[in-house]
Structures are given as structure tokens and as C-alpha cells.
A and B are shown apart, each in its own frame.
Chain A
Amino acid sequence: MLVYLIRRIAQAMLVIAVMATLVFFAVYAIGNPIDVLASPQADQIELAAISQRLGLDRPLWEQFGIFVWNALRGDLGTSFVYAEPAAKLILQRLPATFELAFTALAIAVFVGIPLGVYAGLNPDSLGGRSIMGGSILGFSLPNFWQGLMLILIFAVILGWFPAGGRGQTATVLGIESALFTLDGLKHLILPAMNLALFKMALVIRLARAGTREVALQDYVRFARAKGLSRSRIVGVHILKNILIPVVTILGLELGSMIAFAVVTETVFAYPGMGKLLIDSIGRLDRPIVVAYLMMTVVIFVVINLVVDIIYAAIDPRVRLSEVKG
């Protein structure tokens, strides 16, 4: 287990280093941040002064050297746009993003799995077929359009929920979150739905396929023959055995929900990390983009690790000792 962990961490460090280098040079290649940041009124004298203030007048290798040296000491750089540490700016957005991602995940799991299992057990019923039909919509409608539709129906026409933004926050047990206020939850529902719809469709299909397969297995037949109740068969014997693919996919998807919920965050003007990333790319704010993607790698590695541990918990055949290769 320990060896496994150490290997995992070493791999992650390597990925982070490669990623940071690639992104650093890629953002540099897109364009010069000063051309975007400076007021159009700035003349040549002022442009030179800005270059110097932001350290962009130095040769590229020197800028990279400074970045590496600072990164080794835990400083991921200072944003060109906000003159604040990039890591701090990203972490400020983290609570909002986590709220959104985990709410969406909860919706995907607690709505998706029951629907999928139902559709798997009753594949030819009207209900089962409507669920499958609905899940195709979840897949195929563009996220952006879905978001606007949700806003139009639930905010503009019905007026049930606000059209965007993050609601009030409250502090419970030292954690400040919008999950603890009614206003916060109201603001969260539409964007979380928007983010969850695609994942939910995915979960429904996985759960359905898994259920259909597992339901025909001998041990399920045996359980039925033994006279176990239907709820116990479905709730324990089937559910536990369809979870492995669902957990794998959700693990991967959770990472992308945290790091790249850009479309949802843009449509709902939601102050999360994805919005910060896309704004920073537009303004060529290299320190934020680089730091952001480094943190993304960390998040993905952590999630994968958690997924592996959950595997071991739900499937006793899985052991956490990676085979070489």
C-alpha cells in the first residue's frame, strides 16, 4: 500500500512538472499579455514600464527560470491582471466550485442510479423506455443551450430560481458555504442541474447496462430462489455489482466537473474556478493559467487515488498493489 502511494505521488510530480513547462511556453506563444492588459491609451514609454513591472522584459528562459525557482519554494507566481498570488486567487474560487461540482455529482448519483436500475430491471416498460429516451437528450443537447433553457424556463418564465450568480454564504463548523443558506441553495440548483444532466445521462446508461447484465447472473437467480426479498436483491446484490464502472466514470467526470465547468459557470455567471481559467486565458494571465493546470493535475491524481480505494472497498478482489507495466 505504501509503495503504491509513493509511486503514485512520484508519477503525479512528474506529470505536474511536464504540464507546467508545456503550459508556460504555450501561453507565451499565444501572445504578449501586455497587448491585452494595457490601456489602449498607453504609449511606448508606458508599455516599456509595464513590461518591466511584470517582468516580461526579460528573456523567456530567464522568466522560466524565475518561475521554476519560485515554484520550488511554493510560490506559483503573481497574476498579471490582479497583482495577487495566483494560488490565492484560485483557492478563493475553490469553495464555490466544490459546492457546484459535489451538488451536481449528488444529483447525478441519486437520480441517475435509481433511474438506471429501474430501466435495467424493466427494459421494455414505458417507464424504462422513456428514461432511456430522456437520457439521449441529456447526452446530445449542448450544455450551453441547456443552461440557457433552464434559465429561461425556471428563472424568466416561472421565476422560481435566480438566473445566475452565487447566493449568500453562511459559516457552519468553520466552513463558509452557500450550501447552508436557502438563498445559496436556490442559486445553486439551476447551475448544478445544468452540470449534472450530462453525467446523469451517463450514469443512467451505465447503471442500466450493468443491471441487465447482473440481473441474469447465477447468484442473482440463486438469491431469488432462496426467497430473498426483491429490495434486498436489487439493493445489495445487483447494486453493489454495477457500481465499479459507475465509480470509475464518475471519478473521471468529477475531476472535469471541478476543473472545467467553464460553460456552466459562464452561462450562470457563477464565480467558480472554471470562469477564472477562461477569463485568464482570454487575458493571457500566464501565472494563473499555469498554476491552475498544475492544481488540476493534483485534483485528478487525488480523485483517482480515492477511486482506487473505493474499488477495493466495493470489490474485495481488487488489491492496491499495482503490477508493473
Chain B
Amino acid sequence: MKRTLTMAALMVPALLAGTAQAQNLRIGLSSEPTSMDPHFHNVGPNNFMRRHIFQGLLTTDETQKIVGELAEAVAPINDTTWEFKLRKGVKFSDGSDFTATDVVYSLCRVPKVEGSPSSFTVFTRGIEKIETPDAHTVRFVTATPNPLLPNNMTTIGILSSKKFGGQNVKYNPAGCENLGDLPKSTDFNDPTKAIGTGPYVLTEYTRGSQIVLTRNANYQGQKAPWERVTWRPITSAGPRVAALLAGDVDLIENPQIEDLPRIKQAGFKIAQQLSNRIIYVHLDTHAAADWKTPGIKGTDKNPLLDKRVREALSKAINRQAIAERIMGGVAQPAGDLLPWPLFGTSRDTKPTAFDPDGAKKLLADAGYPNGFEIVLGTPNDRYINDGKISEAIAQMWTRIGVKTSVDAMTASTFFTRRNKYDFSAYLAGWGADSGELGNSLNALVATPDAKTGAGHTNRGRYTNKDVDAALIEALRTIDDKKREALLQKASKIAMDDVALIPLHFEITTWAFKNNLDYKARVDQYTIATDVTAAK
């Protein structure tokens, strides 16, 4: 329903009603944070809302580069120890001082969140010891070298230990001691308990209706540009655009592509940024003897095990046409798992060129001159135009002789079926939260291993010893230069072997009043302090 009717269908030019009051900012969200607890649910909306109230030791800028926040310097002392120098004179919004104990307390609380639907323990796992030589120094000692510890620290919001009686906390990887009166997740929905060091404090949280933040009077950094920020969840795209046009909100996330001309015509501005989200097609390359791939007909073998077939399927796709016609320009064809210049990518990696004749030849060489039949599984409400992209791919594959039918479904059903290996080929997306290629490679193409957590989203079960070796080496190399080279190597091997078929990177869009500016972000986050009055 929400995709058949868009505001673009309504052919009346919009008139502006009222102008923004200078000190208030109202934002229309496309999905709502599930809690104000910084450690409750590791998903985008919660994470960016958290950044306004609870700062981390480090944070990322709009290009996903790591920058200092509560820590002013960070350096490895040896292969297994990271030292953070904390900023002095930082106060929580209740006026108390921020010290190293608060860091220990926050990390201790992460695994203790009751009923968390997705916790942050993936980021705190493997820390053996936390030392606090003085009130403004924290050292993390890990079991094995962990070059990603600084990345991980950008995701953990720091709580006040005094607020909850945890001043004497003692770290223990198996479970901390002296935690005081640990807060429940719902406690943070109460403004008097949501105490952080961020530029804003929580003023009101009415689930489903609005979240109101106001400037933190005790904030030490640069004064936040807005006195009051109101966030309203308007999850349906058409009404969200209408709210912007009607002057109910000043800025919205993710307007539909079809509405962009209308928004511009009505005198609003658009900000766009290439995101860290890749849309890809994964192929079932599981080679176990007892495994029969579910969606392939016309051959007894699994043709996808042959690299030539995978390459043919990749060459058959006209990425430029998909980006321009189906995605309306809000996509960039991809040849790697992250766009250049994010960490680990190479400038010279190019998307596979569209070559249907070459693809047919490869198929014939592989022994499938007449092709075969395949089912492409896809969600139809998760990524921008996901269902339409899959239909286009099906046509392109059918053109080279691989008769493709699309099995489209809602996201909740799709992910359950995908995780049960129900598809021989499926379309999905991956956003690298850490902004570096190790995250994408480890999730999508590393050999699945339940013990280490490698290859957790590699549902095509691709496996390649050379990729694994380079990746494992990279994931324990502290030196950035060497690590980047290893990631580039691992990625090149995987892409040359067509471990999966990269399609495009999504471009994220924000629309707002013409008296504002927004620093559009790679991580798709909406950050109120990045919204400024236009000069």
C-alpha cells in the first residue's frame, strides 16, 4: 500500500505554512528507537539517538572516521593493550564529574541488560582486564590482539556510575562486582535517570508519539545548535513527506525517490550521501555431499559451485541500468563490499562490466550452454526498491539462458527463510557499522564458524582458505597500514572468485527546509547537531 501511493501522485504545488522557529528543530524519523537505554538494542535509530545523550569514548564523523569524544587520545601499548586518555573536566548532565570508573561501569553493564533483543556484547567480548591507573586513563587488555577495539568503543554509550551506586565497580570478564543498583532498560525512559555527557538531555519520551531533547546546560563541548529537538516517528514515507511539506517538521529521513522532484519544486533542500550499505546477491556454494541446493532445476549438480557460472551471473547484470532506472540515481554500482575510500577498500576496484555475450560464453564453457533454472529470493520491504531490483536481475539472468523466477516476501519471513538456507540465490544488504572492510568480509564471505562468529551472515556458505587466512591475519594486526593491505588482499581474492555478486551502494537522502543545512552521513544516521542554519 505504501508504495503504490506517493505524494508524487498528488499534483498540487505545496504552499509553505509558517517558518521554523530559530531555536527549535523538528525531525521526522523513518523508524523509531525502541528504547532510550543506550545498551538495549543495537540498531541504527537507537544508536544515533544514543549519541545525543550518552557519548562514547570515541565517535565517528560523517565519513565514519574515528574521532575522539570522551577520550582525547588512544594508542596501543602492545599487541593486546589499548590505552585511552580521557578528557578532563567533563561533567554529566546532573553536574557530577566523568572519570575512568564510569567507563568500567558502562562496560560492565553491557552484558547485563535484561531482555535485550540485540545487545552490544559483540563489541565488548574478549576484554580480559580493564585497568584504571588514574582517574583519566583507561587500559583495555584483550585476550588476543584486537585492532577493532577503538571502532567498538564508538558504539558504547557511557553511563554515570554514581547515579546507580556503582562507584566501586570491579571489572571481571565473567561478571563484574559491586555494580550497585543496576538500572533497568525502562529506567532510561525517565529523563531524571537518562544521565549522560552528551550535548542534549532527554526531556520527554512518549513512545510512538515523540522524543524531546533539550540542550544540556553542563555540556563542555561546542554548544549544540538547537535549544530543543523534537523527533517524531512517521514511519510511512508518503505522510512523512506530507509532514515536511505542511511545515509540521523541519527535516525528514529517507523520502521516497519518486517524491524528490516534488520536494525540490516546493522549495525544500535535499542532502545525499553514499552510504556504507551494499546491496548484493549471495549464491549457495555449499559443497557438502548431503546438501542439495533448494532452488535450482535443469541440472543435478549445483552449477553455482563453478566460478565461471558465478562470473557469468555477475556479468549478466547491468548495474548502471539498475542504478539509473530502478534506483532513480540513489545508488552507485559496486565492485567491492564498501565504497572507496573507506578503510580496506582499493581505489581501482571497479564494478564488473555488463557483458551478456561474455556471460553466455562462460556458461557454455562451464557446461551449461542451455542454462538452468534458478529461484531468486528477495525481501520486498527492507531495502530501497528491493523487489524491483530482483525482478530486473531475473530478467537479465533469463536473457543469458538462466531462467530465473523471483520469490519476493516481507522482511520478517525472508530473513527467517534465508537463515534456514532456503534459497540458492538471494538478494540482501549489508551496512558495515564499523566503517571498515574487515566487518563486511568477516560477516559475508568468511567461512562460517559458530565458535568464532566468523561468516555469520554468509548464508551462501562460501568458503575459501585464502580469504580466511588473509582476513584472520588482518583481524589480529594492530598496525593500520599492514591491516589495510591484508584486507585489500582478502577482498581482492574474494571478489575475483565471485564469492558473492555486489550490486550497488545505496545513497541515503534527507530532505529539509531551505533555511537549514545537513552534513549527510555515510552511516545513515540522523544527528541533530549536524543540522545547522543555512548561511
> Could you list some 11 contacts between A and B, CB below 8 A?
A30-B412, A43-B453, A44-B456, A82-B34, A163-B246, A164-B239, A263-B1, A266-B239, A269-B240, A279-B235, A283-B412
Interface membership of A24, Cβ < 8 A:
no
Q: Which residue of B lies closest to A278 (CB)?
A: B235
Query: Which residues of A have CB within 8 Å of B24?
Result: none
A contacts, CB < 8 Å to B: 30-47, 49-50, 53-54, 78, 80-84, 89, 92-93, 96, 144-145, 147-149, 151-152, 155-157, 159, 162-166, 263, 266-269, 271, 275-276, 279, 282-284
Name the CB-closest residue of A to B208.
A271
Q: Which residue of A lies closest to B10 (CB)?
A: A152
Evaluate contact between A163 and B248: CB separation under 8 angstroms: yes
B185: which A residues are within 8 A, CB to CB?
83
CB distance from A51 to the nearest CB of B (A): 11
| Residue B169 CB within 8 A of the other chain | no
Q: Please judge, given known A-B contacts A32-B419, A271-B208, A282-B412, whether A151 and B246 are in contact too, CB under 8 Å.
A: yes
Q: Which of B125, B240, B431 contacts A40 (CB 8 A)?
A: B431
Q: Contacts of B242 on A, CB cut-off 8 Å?
A: 148, 151-152, 155-156, 163-164
Contacts of A78 in B (CB 8 A): 115
Name which residue of chain A comes closest to B18, CB basis: A159
- Whether the pair A53, B43 counts as a contact (CB closer than 8 A) is no
Q: How long is the Cα–Cα vector from A83 to B183 in the complex, in angstroms? A: 13
The one of A53, A96, A148 that contacts B238, using a Cβ cutoff of 8 Å: A148
Q: 8 tightest A-B contacts by CB?
A: A43-B453, A159-B17, A83-B115, A271-B208, A31-B416, A35-B415, A155-B246, A39-B42
| Nearest Cβ on chain B to A265's Cβ, whole angstroms | 9
Do B34 and A269 touch across chains, with their CB atoms under 8 A apart? no
Q: Is the CB of A164 within 8 A of B207?
A: no
* A275 close to B208 (CB less than 8 A): yes
Q: Could you say which of B57-65, B69-77, B116-124 contacts chain A?
A: B116-124
Q: Is the CB of B234 within 8 A of A84?
A: no
CB proximity to A under 8 Å, residues B113-157: 114-119, 121-122, 125
Hey, which chain A residues are within 8 Å of B405, CB to CB?
none
A269 interface neighbour in B41, B118, B243, Cβ under 8 Å: B243
Kindly state whether residue B402 has any CB partner on chain A within 8 Å.
no
Residue of B nearest to A144 (CB): B1
Name the residue on B nearest A267 (C-beta). Answer: B239
B248 close to A84 (CB less than 8 A): no
A83 to B34, CA, bound (A): 9
Q: Is B232 an interface residue (CB 8 A)?
A: yes
Please determine whether A152 and B12 come into contact, CB atoms closer than 8 angstroms: yes
Contacts known (A46-B122, A152-B242, A156-B242); A267 close to B236, Cβ less than 8 A: yes
Residues of A within 8 A of B186 (CB): 83-84
Report the separation of the CA atoms of residues A16 and B321 in the bound assembly, to the nearest whole angstrom.
53
**Chain B CB within 10 Å, residue with most, of A41, A82, A284:** A41
Measured CA separation A31–B415 after assembly (Å)? 8
- Tell me if B122 and A41 are in contact (CB < 8 A): yes
Within 8 Å by CB of A81, from B34, B119, B235, lies B34
Instruction: Establish whether residues A36 and B415, one from each chain, have CB atoms under 8 Å apart when the complex forms.
Output: yes
Residues in A whose Cβ lies below 8 Å from that of B530: none
**Besides the known contacts A53-B115, A96-B209, A156-B246, 5 further A-B residue pairs in the complex with CB atoms under 8 A apart:** A35-B415, A37-B41, A43-B122, A263-B1, A282-B410
Closest B residue to A271 by CB, please name it.
Answer: B208
Tell me if B5 and A156 are in contact (CB < 8 A).
Answer: no
Give the distance to chain A from B88, nearest Cβ to Cβ, in Å: 33
A145 touches B236 (CB 8 A): no
* A156 CB contacts on chain B under 8 angstroms: 12, 14-15, 17, 242, 245-246
- B451 proximity list for chain A (CB < 8 A): 45
Residue among A45, A149, A279, A282 with most chain B CB within 10 A: A45
Closest-CB distance, B455 to chain A (whole angstroms): 9
Contacts of B116 in A (CB 8 A): 50, 53, 83
Q: Does B206 contact A (CB under 8 A)?
A: yes
Question: Contact: B235 with A269, CB < 8 Å?
Answer: yes
Query: In this assembly, does B287 line the interface, its C-beta being within 8 Å of a C-beta of chain A?
Result: no
In the assembled complex, how far is the CB of residue B126 from the closest CB belonging to chain A, in whole angstroms? 11
| Interchain CB contact under 8 A, B118 and A50 | yes
Q: Which residues of B contact A89 (CB under 8 A)?
A: 207
Note all chain B residues with C-beta closer than 8 A to A82. 34-35, 207
**Bound-complex Cα distance A275 to B418 (A):** 27
The distance in angstroms between the C-alpha atoms of A248 and B432, with both chains bound, is 56
Q: In B324-383, which residues have CB < 8 Å from any A CB?
A: none
Contacts of B431 in A (CB 8 A): 40
Q: Does B407 contact A (CB under 8 A)?
A: no
Query: Are A30 and B236 in touch, CB under 8 angstroms?
Result: no
In the complex, what residues of B have CB within 8 A of residue A84's CB? Answer: 186
The residue on A at minimum CB distance from B432 is A41
Whole-angstrom distance from the CB of B196 to the nearest CB of chain A?
20
B159 → A minimal CB distance (Å)? 17
Complex Cα distance, B449 from A45, in Å, reads 10
Q: Closest B-chain residue to A151, C-beta based?
A: B242
Q: Shortest distance in angstroms between A50's beta carbon and chain B's nearest beta carbon?
A: 6
Q: A36-B415, A42-B42, A155-B246 are in contact. Are A271 and B207 (CB under 8 A)?
A: yes
Q: Which residue of B lies closest to A82 (CB)?
A: B34
B295 at the interface (CB under 8 A from A): no
Closest Cβ of chain A: how far from B14's Cβ, in Å?
A: 5
In the complex, how many angstroms separate the beta carbon of B180 from the nearest chain A beta carbon? 20
A271 touches B42 (CB 8 A): no
When distances are taken between beta carbons in the complex, the residues of chain A under 8 Å from B206 are 271
Contact A163 B239 (CB under 8 A): yes
Output the least CB separation between A130 and chain B (Å): 24
Is the Cβ of B247 less than 8 Å from the Cβ of A269? no
Q: A202 to B126, alpha carbons, bound, how many Å?
A: 65
Chain B residues whose CB sits within 8 angstroms of the CB of A53 once the complex forms: 114-116
Q: Which residues of B contact A275 (CB under 8 A)?
A: 208
Q: Is B443 an interface residue (CB 8 A)?
A: yes
- Give the residue of A40, A46, A165 whose beta carbon is less than 8 angstroms from that of B119: A46
Contacts of A276 in B (CB 8 A): 208
Contact at B5–A148, with CB atoms within 8 Å?
yes
B418-461 at interface with A (beta carbon < 8 Å): 418-419, 430-431, 433, 439, 443, 448, 450-451, 453-454, 456-457
| Contact residues in B for A155 (Cβ distance below 8 Å) | 17, 242, 246, 248
| Bound Cα distance A287, B101 (Å) | 38
Asked whether A92 lies within 8 Å of B12 as measured between CB atoms, the reply is: no
Shortest Cβ distance from A205 into chain B, in angstroms? 26
- Residues in A with CB closer than 8 Å to B430 are 40
* B272 is an interface residue with CB less than 8 A from chain A: no
What are the residues of chain A within 8 A of B209 when measuring CB–CB? Answer: 96, 165-166, 271
CA distance A41 to B119 in the complex (A): 10
Most buried by B among A33, A39, A156: A156
How far is it, in angstroms, between the C-alpha of A37 and the C-alpha of B119 when the chains are bound?
Answer: 11
* Chain B: minimal CB distance from A286 (Å): 11
Q: How far is the CB of B39 from chain A (nearest CB, A)?
A: 12
Chain A residues near B40: list those with CB within 8 A. Answer: 83
User: B233 in the interface, Cβ–Cβ < 8 Å?
Assistant: yes
Bound complex: CA A283 to CA B457 (Å): 19
Interface centre among B2, B14, B208, B245 (most CB of A within 10 A): B208
The closest CB in chain A to the CB of B6 belongs to: A148
Cβ of B413 < 8 Å from any Cβ of A? yes
